Amino acid sequence: MDDFTKKRIEKIMRHYMESIAEEQLRSRRSIGYALEGDELTLVEQRPSRDGTNWIELPVAQFRLDAGGWRVYGLDSGGSWHPVSEIAPSGDFEAQLSRVKANELGIF
């Protein structure tokens, strides 16, 4: 991923996290992400059952390839698989919106 794209994605993610900040306070959870190479992993952070620390749960993964941004979901075995119902797109924000809307009930 080139530097311009990386900075653009980081800006989109900052805006996304700010837009859901109030909701996060109510539910005592937060959303974070990890950007590595051409992959962005969206994670949910929430308190452990005993409340002594925070745990991270992967939500979705976005991978940039020749076809655009492809969305991946996590199976019960912990492996990432492309979500066939979401076509690859050059528009990262559109893909992020699809995951946020969670119309498929998998995120």
pLDDT tens sequence for the chain (107 residues): 899 999 999 999 988 888 877 666 666 778 889 999 999 999 988 888 887 888 999 999 999 999 999 999 999 999 999 999 999 999 999 999 999 999 999 99
Q: Where are the domains of the chain?
A: 3-101
What is the torsional sign of CA 21, 105, 38, 87? Answer: negative
**39 contact partners, CB below 8 Å, separation of at least 6:** 61, 62, 63, 64
Rg (CA), the chain: 14
Residues 33/11, Cβ–Cβ less than 8 Å: no
Per-residue tokens: 80: 């990432």
